[in-house]
């Protein structure tokens, strides 16, 4: 943006709350966090508003900023937008909207708000700025025509970036504006909730300037690759998804693929009408076990597999690519024999054979990938124990699951513990953890994306550490349930989350308790978001997918939630998930 006075007026108008740029559409989880007792409301217990607002901004920068920048750069006023270029740009922009829609599937309140405010902004931008020039009018009207609230196109981040690009606003100003609007709306919610007064909110906004600027610079550095988008503040995301479970609301809530050979390969097909392993291969650092006696109910057809790591875990630089193919009418469960331990990351060995320490950014990342296919009427249950990353570990997971059609079913569990909690300095002390799960159907329609990035700041500032931000949470889990054969489990998960809404008052107070939590008492928090996997403009409103997210104070509490919520799958796989070892 130049020093032209008109440019400043444009930016100020986009920031004005009278324009629907997300203003007051939802609280980004602050309302739920307050009702759950996570926010300090003056009783000296919980986190302060400014800390939670920083986490909201952190998620905006890591999850939404890539989409803002991608749209802004695509519609930059300096680029051509005539004829074929217009069609290509709108098509690519629509695909980015679909990816963002899939990423928000696990957060139903945010998904609705993103679409409603995005399409509203599009209409307002046409009314406000079409008179600037015929070129601007043409571009904005093309956006409006493509944006429809009942489809996957028109998400706020994508619309905001596109409008800024069309109006000639620079990358830095665009990201700063987007983050400011996000933070402003959260602070507004805090005022309306009477958590803080308007003068204190003004102070919070001012004091957060340096932190927000650093986050914006980091977002610009990461760039416009939408595949890099990931949640980096899971507690804020968890509370945002919990909004629908509140009794009272003030808001309007509406791998890269590896070329190396697979370390593990499983193919399941029918042999004499029984699901059987027709291909089974594994090599270091992975071993796959195929026991024949697992099910409690022997009449249920299911092939069971267990993955094992040599040496008890994965070391720095290990690469574990897996392939699973569950063919038509088959059932398969893939489990582990214990937590997936990931040891500290080190630099590559030097010329004399010695290993270097972890000080450099060039330390090796441990990576685990999965390419899975689920055939017609088939079911894949991916039921690992949690990942356990040790201090200074760097771990990345990329899961790509392709469902043949709407009759294919999937239960996918992905979770992580805080690490070696017996050691005070090793709790949430890994360097980085990135996990990304993408589920597609048939014609490559993206249905669900669950993506999370947890990182410890390089500054070693205790106040900015992951352990501090995760409060007393020891486990974070995500469960994706899709398809007709998971219907009973989806109902159970939804009921479990609904039941937890009956105790919303201080239900999350354990997260910020200063004294040690009582031994033997389970503490957890769960949200469930249901949606349709088919294109949203298809007829019918029946929901066929669910994303369950769980926070727990310890691993046994998390196991308890998973066992209860997934127990209905026993009729499909022969024994209750995470309970089968008692019958083997």
Give me the pLDDT at residue 534, please: 52
Q: Is the pLDDT of residue 567 over 90?
A: yes
Report how far apart, in Å, the C-alpha atoms of 473 and of each of 341, 355, 510 are: 19, 34, 9
Give me the pLDDT at residue 414, please: 97
Q: Is the pLDDT of residue 187 over 60?
A: yes
The phi-psi region of residue 508 (left if phi > 0; otherwise alpha if psi is between -120 and 50; otherwise beta) is alpha
Give me the pLDDT at residue 533, please: 65
Q: Parse the chain into domains and list their residue ranges.
A: 5-242, 265-346+364-458+466-489+523-533+566-573
Burial of 499 (0-12, 13-18, 19+ CB in 10 A): exposed
Question: Using 50, 70 and 90 to split pLDDT, how confident is the model at 252?
Answer: very low
- The one-character DSSP state at 125 is H
Mean pLDDT of all residues in 336-343: 90
Give me the pLDDT at residue 83, please: 41
pLDDT tens by residue, 491-525: 999 999 888 766 656 678 888 888 788 877 788 88
Q: Do 318 and 367 meet the contact criterion of CB atoms below 8 Å apart?
A: yes
Which of 337, 267, 249, 250 has its CA nearest to residue 303? 267
The structure tokens listed for 471 are 């409060």
pTM for the model stands at 0.82
Give me the pLDDT at residue 505, please: 61
- Which one of 296-300, 335-339, 349-353 scores highest in mean pLDDT? 335-339
DSSP 3-state of 263: coil
- Which one of 127-141, 302-316, 456-470, 473-487 scores highest in mean pLDDT? 473-487
- HSE (side-chain half, CA atoms, 13 Å) at 39: 26
Q: Is the pLDDT of residue 265 over 60?
A: yes
At 117, give phi and psi (nearest 5°): -75, -30
Q: Do 300 and 333 meet the contact criterion of CB atoms below 8 Å apart?
A: no
Pairing between strand 394-403 and 366-374? parallel
214 bridge partner residues: none
Task: Compare 354 and 281 and report the one with higher pLDDT.
Answer: 281
Q: Is the pLDDT of residue 257 over 50?
A: no
Give me the pLDDT at residue 164, please: 92
Question: Using 50, 70 and 90 to split pLDDT, how confident is the model at 584?
Answer: very low
Q: Do 419 and 426 meet the contact criterion of CB atoms below 8 Å apart?
A: yes
Give me the pLDDT at residue 132, please: 78
* Nearest-5° Cα angle at 559, 553 to 561: 80
At 513, give phi and psi (nearest 5°): -60, 130
Q: Is the pLDDT of residue 24 over 70?
A: no
* Nearest-5° Cα angle at 14, 11 to 20: 175
Pairing between strand 264-271 and 319-326? parallel
Q: How far apart are CA 494 and CA 366, in angstroms?
A: 34
531 bridge partner residues: 545
* Nearest-5° Cα angle at 344, 343 to 348: 115
Sign of CA dihedral 20, 23, 28, 31: negative
Q: Is the pLDDT of residue 580 over 80?
A: no
Question: Which of 72-81, 172-181, 207-216, 253-262 has the lowest average pLDDT?
Answer: 253-262
Question: Using 50, 70 and 90 to split pLDDT, how confident is the model at 537?
Answer: very low
The structure tokens listed for 396 are 């990345």
Question: Using 50, 70 and 90 to split pLDDT, how confident is the model at 570?
Answer: very high
Mean pLDDT of all residues in 443-459: 86
Give me the pLDDT at residue 238, please: 93
Give me the pLDDT at residue 22, please: 45
Q: Is the pLDDT of residue 273 over 50?
A: yes
- Which one of 202-206, 256-260, 443-447 scores highest in mean pLDDT? 202-206
Q: How far apart are CA 252 and CA 25, in angstroms?
A: 6
Question: Using 50, 70 and 90 to split pLDDT, how confident is the model at 356?
Answer: low
Give me the pLDDT at residue 176, please: 93
At 132, give phi and psi (nearest 5°): -65, -45
Mean pLDDT of all residues in 481-495: 95
Give me the pLDDT at residue 18, please: 58
Mean pLDDT of all residues in 196-219: 89
Q: Do 339 and 387 meet the contact criterion of CB atoms below 8 Å apart?
A: yes
Mean pLDDT of all residues in 486-491: 96
Task: Compare 329 and 262 and report the one with higher pLDDT.
Answer: 329
pLDDT tens by residue, 123-162: 888 888 888 788 888 888 888 888 875 678 999 999 999 9
Task: Compare 44 and 288 and report the one with higher pLDDT.
Answer: 288
Q: Do 172 and 134 meet the contact criterion of CB atoms below 8 Å apart?
A: no
Percent of the chain with pLDDT over 90: 46
Is residue 396 reached through a cis peptide bond, with omega within 30 degrees of 0 on the bond before it?
A: no
Tokens 């959260």 belong to 186
Q: Do 11 and 1 meet the contact criterion of CB atoms below 8 Å apart?
A: yes
Asked: is 5-242 a CATH 1.10.4190.10 domain? The reply is yes
Alpha helices in 442-554 (DSSP H): 466-469, 487-500
Give me the pLDDT at residue 113, please: 87
Write out 361-411 in H/E/C secondary structure.
CCCCCEEEEEEEEECCCCEEEEECCCEEECCCCEEEEEEEEEECCCCCEEE
Question: Using 50, 70 and 90 to split pLDDT, how confident is the model at 542?
Answer: low
Rounded to the nearest 10°, the torsion over CA 478, 484, 489, 490 is 60
Q: How far apart are CA 270 and CA 395, in angstroms?
A: 35
């Amino acid at each position: 943006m130049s020093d032209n006075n008109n440019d400043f007026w444009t930016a100020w108008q986009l920031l004005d709350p009278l324009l629907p740029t997300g203003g007051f559409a939802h609280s980004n989880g602050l309302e739920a966090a307050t009702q759950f007792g996570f926010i300090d409301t003056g009783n000296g217990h919980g986190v302060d508003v400014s800390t939670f607002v920083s986490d909201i901004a952190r998620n905006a920068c890591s999850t939404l900023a890539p989409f803002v920048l991608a749209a802004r750069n695509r519609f930059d006023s300096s680029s051509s937008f005539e004829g074929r270029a217009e069609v290509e740009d709108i098509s690519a922009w629509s695909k980015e909207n679909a990816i963002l829609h899939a990423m928000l599937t696990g957060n139903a309140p945010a998904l609705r708000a993103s679409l409603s405010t995005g399409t509203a902004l599009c209409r307002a931008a046409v009314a406000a700025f079409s008179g600037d020039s015929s070129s601007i009018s043409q571009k904005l009207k093309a956006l409006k025509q493509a944006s429809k609230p009942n489809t996957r196109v028109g998400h706020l981040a994508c619309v905001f970036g596109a409008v800024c690009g069309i109006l000639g606003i620079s990358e830095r100003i665009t990201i700063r504006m987007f983050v400011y609007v996000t933070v402003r709306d959260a602070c507004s919610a805090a005022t309306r909730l009477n958590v803080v007064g308007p003068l204190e909110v003004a102070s919070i906004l001012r004091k957060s300037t340096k932190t927000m600027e650093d986050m914006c610079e980091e977002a610009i550095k990461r760039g416009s690759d939408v595949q890099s988008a990931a949640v980096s503040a899971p507690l804020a995301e968890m509370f945002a998804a919990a909004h629908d479970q509140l009794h009272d609301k003030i808001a309007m809530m509406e791998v890269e693929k590896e070329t190396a050979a697979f370390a593990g390969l499983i193919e399941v097909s029918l042999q004499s009408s029984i699901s059987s392993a027709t291909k089974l291969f594994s090599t270091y650092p992975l071993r796959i076990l195929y026991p024949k006696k697992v099910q409690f109910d022997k009449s249920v057809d299911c092939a069971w597999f267990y993955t094992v790591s040599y040496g008890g875990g994965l070391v720095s630089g290990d690469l574990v690519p897996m392939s699973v193919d569950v063919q038509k009418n088959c059932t398969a469960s893939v489990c582990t024999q214990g937590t997936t331990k990931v040891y500290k990351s080190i630099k590559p060995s030097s010329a004399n054979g010695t290993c270097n320490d972890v000080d450099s950014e060039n330390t090796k990342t441990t990576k685990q990938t999965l390419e899975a296919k689920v055939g017609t009427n088939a079911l894949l249950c991916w039921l690992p124990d949690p990942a356990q990353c040790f201090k200074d570990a760097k771990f990345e997971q990329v899961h790509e699951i392709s469902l043949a059609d709407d009759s294919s079913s999937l239960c996918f569990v992905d979770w992580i513990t805080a690490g070696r909690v017996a050691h005070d300095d090793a709790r949430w002390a890994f360097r980085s953890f990135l996990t990304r799960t993408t589920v597609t159907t048939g014609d490559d329609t993206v249905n669900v994306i669950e993506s999370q990035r947890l990182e410890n700041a390089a500054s070693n500032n205790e106040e900015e550490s992951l352990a501090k931000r995760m409060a007393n949470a020891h486990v974070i889990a995500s469960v994706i349930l899709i398809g007709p054969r998971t219907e009973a489990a989806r109902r159970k998960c939804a009921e479990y989350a609904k039941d937890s809404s009956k105790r919303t008052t201080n239900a999350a107070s354990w997260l910020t308790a200063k004294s040690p939590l009582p031994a033997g008492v389970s503490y957890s928090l769960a949200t469930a978001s249901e949606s349709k996997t088919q294109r949203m403009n298809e007829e019918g409103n029946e929901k066929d997918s669910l994303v369950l997210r769980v926070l727990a104070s310890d691993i046994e509490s998390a196991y308890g939630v998973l066992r209860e919520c997934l127990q209905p799958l026993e009729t499909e796989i022969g024994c209750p998930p995470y309970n089968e070892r008692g019958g083997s």
